[in-house]
Amino acid sequence: MAQQTAQQRITREDLEAKFRETQESFQGKLEDKKQTLVTIGVVVGIILLLLFFVLGKRAGKKKTTFVDIRRV
């Protein structure tokens, strides 16, 4: 078997066919996962937006110190 592979030459067409097959495999998997990833991204974005809103609202309610300057 080693002699057969040593005698066969790998052509450009062989490489292109293998690369095309690999790329199509990855593209198929990516298309399957794409919708899930978009949904997860949107949900995480909404959660972060709400978190920042709540934290900002709380920070705005904290008591601040007023320094009163009077002329003597």
Q: Model confidence over 54-66: pLDDT tens digits?
A: 888 766 666 667 7
Q: For position 1, what pLDDT does the model report?
A: 47
Rounded to whole angstroms, what are the CA distances from 66 to 62, 69, 70, 72? 13, 10, 13, 19
Q: Considering the entire predicted model, what is its pTM?
A: 0.46
Q: How far apart are CA 20 and CA 47, in angstroms?
A: 40
Going from N- to C-terminal start, the domains of the chain cover 11-59
Q: For position 64, what pLDDT does the model report?
A: 67
Q: List b or e across 44-72, with b for residues whose CB sees 16 or more CB atoms inside 10 angstroms.
A: eeeeeeeeeeeeeeeeeeeeeeeeeeeee
